Amino acid sequence: MKKLIILAIFCLCLPCMESTANAFVFGPTNLGFRGYPAHSCYQPSVPYSNSRSSLMTFKSELDIYKRCIEEYTEGADKDMERVLQKRNEAVDEYNNFIRSIY
């Protein structure tokens, strides 16, 4: 019976341990209710035929998909820089205020 309970607990916890891709950050946020927006890139379908035109179309769509993801991640990186800049400005403002009253 004890082994069955341990097995049940393990099975219930297993989905939580799969990967960090599903990780959540707990704590306060300044993001909106929906959080950071997901990308809107179109993932191309793999062609079923090996015809030259199908493969060329797929390659073209794959290049567009890659560029879209690269633009999204570059934008996300810049957004993180902007957030850190605002964070640092807030800390500097606080520190300057504290220095001014002491």
Q: What is the pLDDT of residues 24-67, one digit of tens each?
A: 677 888 888 888 999 999 999 999 999 999 999 999 999 999 99
CA distance linking residue 45 with residue 32, whole number of Å: 33
CA distance linking residue 73 with residue 65, whole number of Å: 12
19 pLDDT above the threshold of 50: no
First to last CA, the chain: 65
Kindly state the percentage of the chain with pLDDT values over 70: 76
Q: What is the per-residue pLDDT for 34? A: 86
Q: What is the per-residue pLDDT for 28? A: 81
Residue with the bigger pLDDT between 2 and 11: it is 2
